[in-house]
Every structure is written in structure tokens, then in C-alpha cells.
Structure 1
Amino acid sequence: MEKYKLTEHGIPWLLTLGMLLLMNYSDAVAQADRIDFFDEPYDVEYEEKMAESVNAGIDRFLTRYTSEVIGDREKYWNRQFDSPHAYNVSVDHNRNDLRRMIGATDTISDVTLEIKGDPGNGVIIADTEKSRIYEVEWTIHEGLKSEGLLLIPKGDIRASAVVIPDADETPEGYAGLEEGPGTALKMAEKGVRVLIPTIINRKTQHSGRDQLIPAHPWQNLDDYSVSRWSNITHREWIWRQSYVMGHHIIGMEVQKVLAAVDWLVKNKTGKSDEKIGVMGYAEGGLLAFYSAALDTRIDAAWVSGYFGSRKQLWREPVYRNVWGLLTEFGDAEMASLITPRSLLIEAAPVPGVKEPLPVKKGQRDFALAGELRTPSTNEIKSEIKKLNNFFPNESSLQPDVSLIDNVVGHGTDEALRVFIDHLGINAADSVPDKLLNSVTMHRPTDPGERHRRVFYNMEDYIQDMIPTADRRRYQFLEGDLSSPQSWDRSMEPYRKQFYDHLVGRIDKDLLPLNPRVRQIYDKENWKGYEVALDVWPDVNAWGILAVPKNINPDDKRPAIVMQHGIGGLPTTSIRVESYHHVLNALVNRGFVVFAPYNPYQFNIRKATALKKSVYSIIIPQHQQILNFLKSRDYVDRDRIALYGKSWGGRTALRVPVVLKDYSVVVSSAYFNDWLNKAVSTNYSNSYYWEDSIGIYEWNMGNTFTHAEMAAMIAPRPFMVEDGYLDGVAPYEMVASEFGKVERWYDMMGISERAELEIFKGGHEINGKGTFRFLHKYLNWPAPESPTKSQLISE
């Protein structure tokens, strides 16, 4: 974390946008003699306002871009209306896209269902005159299990259903065993066999550790009893670790539902016309909706408290964040995957969820913001109308959608009657509430303990992926190591995959540069200029250009883009202590230096719903910076390096994968074993103990982590700078990850181009080995006896 952290809100953006518009001056560096100044002096307060303006512009761009993406969804669809079969075949690829988006790609095992209980006390936990209730467990995939309740009618089984509570409800509340809607018991009383899975709740009691693995090996494990607990909800806790591994809490819970459907299908009573339905409320409504969209064996779906516009998905809790969902799916598109099967929408009020939750005693405030809102009836009807518009009037194939609105609660008898009618059961008479009072308990249940087992099972399932992820990435990234040229060619398809699927390419033409420049520094050996460049409407690249004074008219100097970390500003590399005035030292050595603003503060979740990330913006910004530098008469376009610290080191790993005009790359105070850093729930320096959303990249753990990014930078010179005492990661993690990079370079016969410098220091610039590296590979002579101004400050 840098010394200066930007606030989320500041002065009105119109004021700072006005300042940008006033920057329409000639380029004073090489194109004109006259220098024009801005109305405000260049200081930290001004930089913060400019940074806020840049971030506000990106946010406006993403808002417009969201509408563009939603308006362009039809290109992913090719619906055929000749018959139900033809229609289902035509949307199969959309179902597969949805599976990939939510990570529901594990093969579901041959599902067996185990009835739990103490045989001495009987395995039935409760019954009524018409049904029995059991506690059960079933396996989805090796290592992943589900638990819940099974209700079986004592008479004929006329249909089957999976009923999914909201995250903060229990199966017992649906089975009539405790206060709740009792929906599952009402179904069972009408002859429906029902499975109720336990889903992860929004509480926080398991979100933390009493003892963590220390970050550094010299810390005594026996004495290391740091207790860290947080206000991260259990759903966010699972989302954080699974997302990086290409899984998702939604996907894993959908697979639990589909495994339940598997068991119900395989254990039909022999009647071929026995139908299967899913019902869910709020978070359970989402799962029921997605499950029915994916599995055509589900005849009817009852979705309560979840249907409407997803245009502002980024406002919802982060565990609903699905990478790229809005590119192809809104709720209308999702519902079209259920057509021509039956869909019942119960417009029930959603739970009053507003996160982060208040911090309790002993907790740290690491949770991310999000809230649920109840959509208006008009919003729901508008989305249904959009669904209907997908289907030509003349087609016999039409959506079968029922809407029940103006309801006070959820799981209403009116909705129940419609649902069981869809399941082929005569619903003329409702189930009297008094039946819910006729339950005889034989054995108490403990829904809290059951939830604890389910929670830790899901966590273990993801954590067990970490040790084997290296192997999967080795198998994933392959290339011809016989020469640097052959390796470079081998990496091209990976670079494309990286940009399209991990970063998220925004396929828009860049605007003309339109550089706005003013001088802000006049030092003994160099001059400094504030520079703003156009990228897209409302998106700008902005930073400081430092130019040595001793440039001759025919000089072509190498350039270095010096990138700050999170919370930094263009002057960070000049004034923040951990940078040791690195910009000054580099420009005094004769390099042209550009220090851009790194915009990490905008609404990243607005981007991820569109399959875009922070680097979807940053990479085009850097492209414009490169274009600007290459347009300067005094810059050698073939000798431009990127040197970044901390999150700037993160930028130095990602941007050059795409932008090959960066001929030399240095990543400082960042490079390490990223899976432990981002996914591990036991490591003391894990991002579980931070509130940063920007580190979560979909399926990164199985594709591109730090070593693989460096491999795609190869065969260009690549260096890592790291302090022994840097809290980001211990040397052992850094060296282990760098060893993979070293192997690739060595196999190509260019081992000297990959270098790791470990120094006795912390989260800071060292500026010794990195300076030698930059001089060598930018082909610029290093000073034989460096002056004080050419060295970093102590």
C-alpha cells in the first residue's frame, strides 16, 4: 500500500473535466517554444483531484459501455423455432457458455444419497401423517458434498422437486421443523418428493483463522498465534477463493442442485411421466433459475425473490459477480434457456441485505460492499416482455411464464398451487397450515452444525486445488523452446487468450492522442511536464514526462515508463519514501522517464460483469503512452522499458504481455507465488486480509499466474526486484516462482535475460541491479562514477 491513498469521492468531476479541457496546449517539449500553464498549481491536492477526474471518466465510459454490450447480446444467440428439439439444440452453446461462466464444469459423479442418523434412534428425524423427513448427504464430485433434508410422501410419489432456501434460511424452515415458509412440507403433503440442500449463508462466524501460517519462515510457528477474523460473509469467503480457481460459489451450489436432480431422476418410482421441478427464494431463487436454465430434465422452475434487470449487477453482493455474465445473459436471456418448460416468477420482496456487515468485536473490516433491492413489478414485467420478444408471434414455440405479484411474503399458497399444477398434480385444494403443526419430531437436527460442515467442505475443495495448480498450468502453457524466436511465436495464441479471457479486451479504436502538455518542473538536469492523452471518450492517460536537458537535436534516447503502486499518483516516484526518488535518478542517468497515473480506484465490478478488468482500461492507456513516447523526436521507439513497483509491478507483469513495444520489463515488490497470495485462507499475507477487489481474476490459477505472464513476456529481458523484508511475500516464494521463469529462459539459451535481485530491504525500490539491467538492455551507458543525483536516495 502506498503512502497516499485516493478517496472514492472528491470534488465534482465537472470541475476537473473542465481543467482537462483547458489543457489544449501545444507540446512544449519538442514541438513548440511556448509553454502554457494550467490554472491550478501542480501539487498533491491537484493530483488527487485529477486522479478523481480520471476515475470518474472511466466510470462514465463503463456505464455507456454496459448499455452497448447489453444491446449487442443477440450476436451470441441463434435461436431456432421449428420445434422444441431444434430450439434446445440451438441454445446448447449458450448453456455451455453459462456453465463456463459460473464454473459448473466439474463432472458430476454417480450420485448416491446417504441417509444420516443414529440407527439406534431411528433414521427418520420427523414425520407427519402423510410424509417422512430424513437428514441426507450426497456427493457431487470427488471432494465436494452436499447435505440437507429429504421429504418423502408416505403414499404415492407423484412428482419430485429440489427446494432451495435463501442463504439465511434453513432447510428446517422449509420442512416445517422450525419457523419458515414450510413450502417443502406442503409439497410433500401433496405427493412431491423433495430434496432441500443447505446453501452457504451470509453470516461471518467461520470467516477467519485463529492461527495462520506466518509469511516469513523465520517467524516461529509455535509462537505465531495471530487471530484474524473478519466481517466477510461466508458467501464472499467462498467466492474469493473459488473465483481465482475458475470456480464460483454459484456454480458449485448449482452443481449440488443438479446432482440432486440426478438422484431424483434415477430414483423415479417407475412412472415415466413423473415430473421434476426446482423452487428457490432469493439466493435460492438465483440457484433455481440457473439450474433450470442448464438442465432440461427440470420441467418447472419456481423463482421467488429473484427476477429483474441485471444492468446494475455490480451493486449486488460480490458473490453474485460472474465474469462476463452481462455480455450474454440478462434474466430474459436466462429465462429463454428454460423455454418451452414452465417458469413461475413470484415477485416476492427480497431480503434486506446490505453489505459489508457491521464489524463485530474481534473482526477486521475486509468485506466488500453490496446490497439487494426488490425490483418493481414494472421492471419484472419489462424483463418478461423482453423474453417474449425473442420468440416470433407466428411461432408455436412460446415461453410458458406465470407471474404472481403483489405478494407480502414468499412461498405463497397461490404460487404453490401454480407450481404443483406444472408438476402434473391437481392443486384445486390448498394445503391447510394446520398440517405444519402436525410434525412429530423423532430426532433433533442441528442446522448450524450442518452448515459448518458444508462450508468447510467447500473451502477444503478449493484449497485442495492449490498444490496441484502448478501441474495444470505446466500442461496448459506449452511452447517451442528451441530458440527465442520459436518461443515467441508459440506464445502468440496464449497472449491473445490472456488478453481476451483473463484481462478482457475492449475492442474499440483508440482516439487520436491529442496531447495536452505543460511544464511543471525545471530541475538542474531535467525538465518535467504534465501530459494528458485521449484514449476513448471520457478515458484519458495522464502522467509526468521527465526529459534530460542535455538532449542533442539528433539524440534518440531510451525511455522508461515508471509505474507507481496502488493509491499512488504520478509524483509518487519523486516524493514517496519507498521509491527513493527513482524518477530523478533515472532521468539524471540520461533516460527519458514517463510516470503515469495507475487508475485502480474506479468501479472494477462494473467492468467484470462485462468480462473486463482494470487492465482492459490500463493496457489501452499504456498503448497511448507508448504512442506518445514514440512520437517524440528524442525517444528511440525500439528502446522503451516498463518498470513498476508494487501494484505497478503488477502492471509490469500484465501490460507487456499485450504491448510488445515494451522491450525491457522490471517488476519490483510484487512478483511471487500468487495462488497462496490470492487464494490461500491460511497464509497470513493472503489478500483475504485486505478489501481489494482488483486482485480477483477469473480462472487465473489454472492459466496465467506470475511465471506464465513472464513466460509470455519472454524472450524480452525480464527482471524481478524484491526485498528480503518485503511483506508482500517471503524470498522463498519469490525465488520459487522465479525459478520457473529462469528455466524457460535457460532452455532458450538466454538465461542472462532473466534476473532476480534480492536485496536487504522491504517494500521499496532498490535501484542497483535494476539500474544495471536497464542500462544493459536499453543499450545506454551507465555512469562510471555515479553522482548523488544518479543514485536512489538512502
Structure 2
Amino acid sequence: MFPVRLALLLVGLGLTSAVGRGDPLPGTAPLTWDGDPAARIVGAIDHYLDVRLGTVVADRAALWGRDLSSADAFSKSGEPQRRRLREILGVVDARDPVVLRHAAPIAVGSDAAGAELARGAHHRVYAVVWNVFRGVGGEGLLLLPDAAPRADVVLVPDCDGSPEELAGLGKDLPPGHAFGAQLADAGCRVVIPVMLDRSTTNGGNPGYRHVETSQRETLWRATYQMGRTPTGYDIQKALAAADWLVGSRGTGESARPLGVAGHGEGGRVALHAAALDERFTVALVSGYFQPREANWLEPLDRNAWSYVRDFGDAEIASLIVPRKLLVEDGVHPSGTWTDAHGGAPGRLARPDGKAVVGEFERARALVPGTLRGRIAMVGASPTVAMGDGAFRAFGEALGAERRRPSWTPSVVSGALPDRAARQLRQYRQVLDDTQALVVRAPDARRAFWKDANRGNLAAFTNSTGALRGYFRKETVGVIPAASVPPAPQSRLLYETNGIRGYEVAFSVHDGLPAYGILVLPAGMKDGERRPVVVCQHGLEGRPTDVADPRVENSAYHRYAFRLAEQGFVTFAPQNAYIGNTRFRQVLRKAQPLGLTLWSFIVRQHEVITDWLAAQPYVDPQRIAFYGLSYGGKSAMRIPVWVDRYCLSICSADYNEWIWKCASTTSGYSYLFNSEYDMPEWNLGNTFNYAELSWLILPRPFMVERGHDDGVAPDEWVAYEYARTRRQYVKLGIGDRTEIEFFDGPHTIHGVGTFDFLRRHLAMPAK
């Protein structure tokens, strides 16, 4: 048997431990499992995802409707995918009219030349900033050729590189690092934006609370909840730079080519920017292009909802055609991040060369045969990113000088930008923007819910079907319903005072089980049908925590067993949020496939409740859900999907969930701890906890809340619950919802909730 956490062996209960003895439940086979059921379930989900990843490339074809009849038709046929890509990367905010200005003040009486930072062989360098939207802006360097410009370029460094390196302003830089300077000498205007790095310098909220996770991961946690991503912000800054380059052209210069190039993380930005914006005539991607099915192993800030299901680098490349894409497989960034300080593990390394070529050939195979030459692999240096081969091909595509100019170090005439201060400014802008989105979130949710008809109860429930469908598809993620018979297996776990506990296991899909503990009360008569309460454990919990009388856990107090003492049938399922980094990495594997752990949990609960409903001692109309902590999180999500649950009780979790996940100024926020599994894609703009309760409506719903519960302050809970209650009251069912505040911590109180269960399940007090 698995180890019992926080267990105290209770003496004097007259309890018989019956593991391995006794008959199984009628209609079930003997359960013969060994080892840890929780690990078995998490491992099964992991295996299911591995199988899906193995077929995802072939499966993508059904999502695309490519028109290969002409170059124009092909480009237009990719527009639905461009819209989807914008959505899942969070490139959804309209940019403001761009103004580019010098980053340093210009002295009185001087002209713009007074702000010159450096001078190269045939170009000048300026430190510049530009606006994007709200308070977010780009910052970097502008390189202007001395001769009339022949092309415009947005050049994006790796996130651990700098604009100064690409502009050739650093000390002792090899020529290959001066790609931007050489483009400018060849006649290009070049904007080089700074990228936020993966250091921990600004992790958390500088000046409020520091965490030893990368600043890009902190931003991912805040942005993902609000339907944005760090990459999306990077792309918007690059596109705003392109806005300025195009908008600042003189008369007769509108046809000047516009290119985008980048290395490493900058290559990621360049690839996606070119796919989304058809103004770019050519893109150069260095040190990034490869198969993307192992995205879940990369740094967390690259995680994007459903990305791998819908796209690989080959598919993104196809959105650039008939424009030109150049791929350089030379130097790739490398690094390793661990979970030692509460962050997500990840790594970057040079991919296998054959895999890169395979993805490149797959990209060419996706486009019309006459256009395959528009995707080209350029010669690469093993030591220098964006080498001579890349320069020649990129310059030719831009109509600029094809021969790479010899590099002459620039003469620096001004103070180089303070990199640390610049990083902090850029980080603060994006972090603050997430808080602006949090403030606007109630308005966004109102707009999202605009088609809900609140005229009466029937109209409301009928009009929320599309919202429920969106929640299932875009928040939870859908796997097929059970594909095999449940084949229940059971064994007696204990018997005391006539109450019996059974371990029960089911099949959901081939290799994917469900498991839990069924507790049968004493004194049930033949033909009698009792109500069931499904009692759900929290984070790192097990069914024994709630259903085994030998276990005393200060959070659960054996409440499934206590309810059985009151005459209820109870069932305690094993959910998959157990194993620390192990289950969180399984979730990371799921999210790029458009799935979550909930995708599997709801299917397990469907099988469990269907089986319960078929038992002769169960009233199928009276199956309730009651969960604590992560089990309370379950209470807000599972009943939205599983209609068999006739009511739901959320204990020790209900609160203003968007603040909880995205706030930068609250010690309660998940931004500051190790639970990077908490953000859910775009939830801030679609469903807070009140909205989720409206999807449970018209079924009864209750909140159990201890004043000393550290999950959130009472004020957050009451604020959000007021919206739940108002909707129930306005629809004439105010008697179906309530909240109990009690003087206590993060725990099952079992007073008002037990009364709520007895009342709504028509169960007399015992």
C-alpha cells in the first residue's frame, strides 16, 4: 500500500484492517494493484500525452485548409491560422501610433546629431525608445546609414544578448557579433530592440518581493492568466519598430523592403513576427528553428496554450510564404533552469542537425511546389550566429549589399545605455501592464458574457451553453470520453462499526485509470437508495486523507468518513495534482496540446459518477461534490463539466481568483511561490470564480471559508461571492447558495456544509 501522510493510528475504533482480505464489491473484479495509485495515474496521463505528441504533427493537417492553387490564394488561406496564432501568443492589443525618440535628452541648441551614441564606418548609432500600447514601449538602438537607405530591418538579439553586441559597440567583439552594424554599412536602417533576459535579477516584483525565478517566468505567470505571453509582448515591440520604419519613409520610398532577423529568442520573435505581419518581405531565423514537439522541456516563458497542437516551426514557416524565410542552423543558445528555487525546470541546447533539416524539409513540403525555394537554409558558422552565408542571403533578399562589409569598430561618442536599468524599465513596463489588464478584467468578462440572457432562470441556463463549451475547449481542454468499459475492480480497505471502505479502480482509456475510496454507511437496507457525496482532496493529497478513519489530517478531519457516519455514501477520488514538479511538468506537456490535468480529471469523474449512479444503493439524482483547497478548485471546475453532480461545495479555495493568480502586490499571489501550475489560459478575461459558479447554476452551490485561511483574505472571498449570490438571487434561486465563515484555518469545518448537504440532498439528520 502507499504510505499514509500525517497518519495517526486510531485506537479503540473496533476497526479491522482488511487490505487483501474480503470479497470485492458486487459487480467488480478483485483489485490487485500494487504500489502508489496516485503515481500510476500521473504516469498514465504522462504516457497518454506522449502518445498524442507522437501523432500531433500528422494530426495538424486536419486543422489547416491550405489552398495551393496560387501564391496569393496560399497566403490568404493561412489567415485563420494567423488569427489563431495571434490569439494564443497574446498579440491582440491594438498598437498606438508610434513615436520613436532618443532615449537621452538632447541638449538645448543642438540638433538630433547631438544625441549620437556612436559612429561606424558608414553609419550612426542612437539609443532610442518607442511606444507600443498603454505604458509598454520598446527600447534599443537605431542604426542609420550615411547613404540613402536601401532597406529597413528589425534585428532582434537573443534574450541573453544585447543590442550593443549586434551594433558592434562592445569591447573585443568578433566581427560576427556586429551583424547590425554591417547591415547599416550596407545601406539598411536598423532598429535593434532589447530583449528581457532570463536572469533572476528582477524576478518577482522589484521593491516589493523578490523571487529566485527568472523574470521571464514571472511575466509568463502574470501574462498567461490574462491571455498574453512574454513572446507576444516581444513581438508587439518588434512590430511597433516596424511601424516606425514604414511610417518614417520619405516620398517615393514606400516600396523599400522590410526585413526582420533574430537569433535565439530573437529568432523566435522574428519567425512569428514575419508569420503575422505580411509587411516583412524577408525573415532570417538563426539558432531557433527546429521541431517543437518538446516545447514543454524549454523555458516556461515559451509555453503557449495549444501551440504544439496547432503549430510547429514548419507550419509557422508556411505562413511566411510566398515571402522569403532564411533559416540558419548554426549557434544555438544553451542553458539549464531547475526547480531549486520554486521555478519551472527547462533547458535549451543545440538540436540535432538532422532534426532541424527534417523540420526544414517539412516546411517546404507544406507550401506549393513552385514556392518551396522561398524557404531556404543558409550556410552557418559553428562559432558565430548570423554569419557570412546569412548576411549574403539576407542582403540579397533585401536588395542591399550582398557582400558583407569588413567590420570596423564603431567610435563611441556618448555613454552606452545602462543595461541593468534598461532591463528593469522594460520588465516593469510589462509587469505593470499585466496589472492594468487585471484592473480591466471585469469589463472584459462582462463583454465576454454579453450574450447571456439574464431575463429568467430558463433563459439564462439555455443561453450559457456556448460559454460552457468555450470553458471546456479553451480552459479545460478536451480529450475523448471514456473509450473502454469501466471494468471496476475493488478490495476492502477497512470495516469499522458497520462502515466499510473499499478501494475501487476503473478504466477510462486503455492504460488510463481512475481510482478512489468508496465508503458505505452502516445500516443500509435492501432497495434503499442513498445520496452520495464525492469528497475531493487537495494539493498533494490522497483519498485516505479524507476517507480513512486511521488518518487524522488537520485540513480534512476524515470528512468523507464522518459523512458516512451521518448516513451518506461517500467516494474520495484520486486526482492527479500530486508529485510536485512531476505533475507540473505533465501539465506543461499538456498545455501546448490544448489540454490540462482537468482534461483527464473530468473524464475520470464521468466514469466514477456513472458507476456510482448505477449502484443499487445510490440515488443517481443525488450525487454531490465537496472539495477542499485544490479539491475546492475542483469544485469550481469539475461540476461545470460533469452534469451528474447535483450540487457543489467549494471549501478553502473560493476567492477573487484573478487577483490570486496575477497580483504583483499581494503576498497571497501565486506569482511568488512554486505553484506555476496555477495560471490558466486567459481566465482573467473569461471566468473568475463568480462566472464559474454561474455555470454550475441552477444547481446549489456553497462556499466554506475560515477567517484564518491563508489562501486569500476574507475581503477577497466576500467580494467575489457577492457576485455569485446576486446572480442566484436575481434568477429567483437565492435559497440555493450560501457561504459560511467560521473562525478557523484552511480546513474542513463540516458544520454549515453538512447542513447544506442534508437540506439539498433530502437527508435527515442522524
TMscore range, shorter length: over 0.9
Residues 700-750 of structure 1 deviation map (CA, whole Å, 9 limit, x = unaligned) = 000012111001000100000010000001111101100000000000111
Q: What does residue 556 of structure 1 align with?
A: 529
Aligned equivalents of 2:695, 2:371: Cα separation in 1: 52
User: How does 1:733-744 map onto structure 2 within 5 Å?
Assistant: 733-744=716-727
Contact 1:604 1:693 in 2 (8 A): no
Which of the numbers 184, 197, 209 marks the counterpart of 2:193? 197
Residues 260-295 of structure 1 deviation map (CA, whole Å, 9 limit, x = unaligned) = 111111222433442111111111110011011111
Which amino acid letter does the alignment assign opposite residue 537 of structure 2? H
Instruction: Please state how far the C-alpha of 1:133 moved relative to its aligned partner.
Output: 0.7
Aligned equivalents of 1:97, 1:761: Cα separation in 2: 46
Aligned equivalents of 1:356, 1:36: Cα separation in 2: 42
Contact 2:725 2:734 in 1 (8 A): yes
Which amino acid letter does the alignment assign opposite residue 439 of structure 2? P
User: How does 1:449-464 map onto structure 2 within 5 Å?
Assistant: 449-464=421-436
Identity level (%): 35
Q: What does residue 538 of structure 2 align with?
A: 565
Instruction: Please state how far the C-alpha of 1:432 moved relative to its aligned partner.
Output: 1.4
**Does residue 771 in structure 1 map to residue 754 in structure 2?**
yes
**Does residue 420 in structure 1 map to residue 379 in structure 2?**
no
Which amino acid letter does the alignment assign opposite residue 578 of structure 1? A
Aligned equivalents of 1:303, 1:730: Cα separation in 2: 48
**Does residue 541 in structure 1 map to residue 514 in structure 2?**
yes
Q: What does residue 729 of structure 1 align with?
A: 712
Aligned equivalents of 1:510, 1:36: Cα separation in 2: 22
Aligned equivalents of 1:5, 1:684: Cα separation in 2: 28
Q: What does residue 109 of structure 1 align with?
A: 96
Contact 2:127 2:141 in 1 (8 A): yes
Q: What does residue 182 of structure 2 align with?
A: 186
Aligned equivalents of 1:667, 1:743: Cα separation in 2: 18
Instruction: Please state how far the C-alpha of 1:414 moved relative to its aligned partner.
Output: 2.5
Cα distance change, pair 414–389 in 1 and its aligned pair in 2 (3 A): closer
Structure 1 SS opposite 2:555? helix
Which amino acid letter does the alignment assign opposite residue 590 of structure 2? A
Deviates more, 1:189-198 or 1:70-79: 70-79
**Does residue 308 in structure 1 map to residue 275 in structure 2?**
no
Contact 1:517 1:532 in 2 (8 A): yes
User: How does 1:201-216 map onto structure 2 within 5 Å?
Assistant: 201-209=197-205, 212=208
Residues 563-615 of structure 1 deviation map (CA, whole Å, 9 limit, x = unaligned) = 00010011011422221121121001111100011101431011001011110
Contact 2:532 2:622 in 1 (8 A): yes
Cα distance change, pair 209–300 in 1 and its aligned pair in 2 (3 A): closer
Q: What does residue 9 of structure 1 align with?
A: none
Aligned equivalents of 1:26, 1:515: Cα separation in 2: 16
Aligned equivalents of 1:406, 1:509: Cα separation in 2: 51
Aligned equivalents of 2:104, 2:68: Cα separation in 1: 50
Instruction: Please state how far the C-alpha of 1:430 moved relative to its aligned partner.
Output: 2.5
Aligned equivalents of 1:335, 1:36: Cα separation in 2: 54
Deviates more, 1:408-417 or 1:680-689: 408-417
Aligned equivalents of 1:443, 1:632: Cα separation in 2: 78
Structure 1 SS opposite 2:524? coil
Q: What does residue 363 of structure 2 align with?
A: 387
Deviates more, 1:473-482 or 1:519-528: 473-482
Contact 2:321 2:371 in 1 (8 A): no
Deviates more, 1:682-691 or 1:720-729: 682-691
Residues 741-774 of structure 1 deviation map (CA, whole Å, 9 limit, x = unaligned) = 0000000111111110000000000000000000
Aligned equivalents of 2:398, 2:632: Cα separation in 1: 57
Contact 1:125 1:445 in 2 (8 A): no
Structure 2 SS opposite 1:518? strand
Q: What does residue 695 of structure 1 align with?
A: 678
Contact 1:391 1:398 in 2 (8 A): no
Aligned equivalents of 1:399, 1:193: Cα separation in 2: 24
Aligned equivalents of 2:22, 2:308: Cα separation in 1: 42
Contact 1:680 1:686 in 2 (8 A): yes
Contact 1:525 1:550 in 2 (8 A): yes
Residues 663-691 of structure 1 deviation map (CA, whole Å, 9 limit, x = unaligned) = 01100000001112100111001112221
Instruction: Please state how far the C-alpha of 1:486 moved relative to its aligned partner.
Output: 2.3
**Does residue 238 in structure 1 map to residue 219 in structure 2?**
yes
Deviates more, 1:684-693 or 1:333-342: 684-693
| TM-score, length basis structure 1 | 0.89
Q: What does residue 585 of structure 1 align with?
A: 562
Aligned equivalents of 2:414, 2:443: Cα separation in 1: 49
Which of the numbers 216, 232, 235 marks the counterpart of 1:251? 232
RMSD, aligned α-carbons: 2.1
Which of the numbers 95, 99, 113 marks the counterpart of 2:86? 99
Instruction: Please state how far the C-alpha of 1:481 moved relative to its aligned partner.
Output: 3.1
Q: What does residue 17 of structure 1 align with?
A: none
Structure 2 SS opposite 1:382? helix
User: How does 1:356-395 map onto structure 2 within 5 Å?
Assistant: 356=338, 365-393=341-369, 395=370
Contact 1:276 1:423 in 2 (8 A): yes
Which amino acid letter does the alignment assign opposite residue 577 of structure 1? S
User: How does 1:641-720 map onto structure 2 within 5 Å?
Assistant: 641-720=624-703
Q: What does residue 16 of structure 1 align with?
A: none
Q: What does residue 13 of structure 2 align with?
A: none
Q: What does residue 732 of structure 2 align with?
A: 749
Aligned equivalents of 2:510, 2:26: Cα separation in 1: 26
Residues 512-556 of structure 1 deviation map (CA, whole Å, 9 limit, x = unaligned) = 111011111111031111000111122111010001131111101
Aligned equivalents of 2:486, 2:131: Cα separation in 1: 57
Contact 2:123 2:184 in 1 (8 A): yes
Aligned equivalents of 1:5, 1:495: Cα separation in 2: 37
Aligned equivalents of 1:205, 1:583: Cα separation in 2: 46
Cα distance change, pair 343–5 in 1 and its aligned pair in 2 (3 A): farther
Q: What does residue 512 of structure 1 align with?
A: 485
Q: What does residue 347 of structure 1 align with?
A: 329
| TM-score, length basis structure 2 | 0.92
Aligned equivalents of 2:240, 2:4: Cα separation in 1: 50
Aligned equivalents of 2:339, 2:274: Cα separation in 1: 31
Aligned equivalents of 1:697, 1:519: Cα separation in 2: 38
Which amino acid letter does the alignment assign opposite residue 696 of structure 1? P
Residues 441-495 of structure 1 deviation map (CA, whole Å, 9 limit, x = unaligned) = 2333222212211110111111112122122212322433343322221222111
Aligned equivalents of 1:134, 1:406: Cα separation in 2: 29
Cα distance change, pair 608–770 in 1 and its aligned pair in 2 (3 A): same
Residues 387-420 of structure 1 deviation map (CA, whole Å, 9 limit, x = unaligned) = 1222354x46653313324522212122112211
**Does residue 323 in structure 1 map to residue 305 in structure 2?**
yes
Instruction: Please state how far the C-alpha of 1:114 moved relative to its aligned partner.
Output: 1.3
Structure 1 SS opposite 2:117? strand
Which of the numbers 597, 602, 613 marks the counterpart of 2:574? 597
Instruction: Please state how far the C-alpha of 1:779 moved relative to its aligned partner.
Output: 1.0
Aligned equivalents of 2:30, 2:477: Cα separation in 1: 38
Which amino acid letter does the alignment assign opposite residue 585 of structure 1? R
Aligned equivalents of 1:445, 1:475: Cα separation in 2: 43
Instruction: Please state how far the C-alpha of 1:27 moved relative to its aligned partner.
Output: 8.1
Structure 1 SS opposite 2:427? helix
Q: Return structure 1 stretches of 4+ with deviation > 6 angstroms.
A: 3-6
Which amino acid letter does the alignment assign opposite residue 424 of structure 2? R
Where in structure 1 are there 5+ consecutive unaligned residues? 7-21, 41-45, 213-227, 359-364, 784-794
Residues 7-65 of structure 1 deviation map (CA, whole Å, 9 limit, x = unaligned) = xxxxxxxxxxxxxxx99x99833448xx956476xxxxx5xx22111111110011001
**Does residue 442 in structure 1 map to residue 414 in structure 2?**
yes
Aligned equivalents of 1:332, 1:587: Cα separation in 2: 56
Aligned equivalents of 1:482, 1:268: Cα separation in 2: 55
Aligned equivalents of 1:644, 1:310: Cα separation in 2: 37
Which of the numbers 272, 277, 284 marks the counterpart of 1:290? 272
Which amino acid letter does the alignment assign opposite residue 375 of structure 2? D
Contact 1:172 1:447 in 2 (8 A): no
Structure 2 SS opposite 1:337? helix
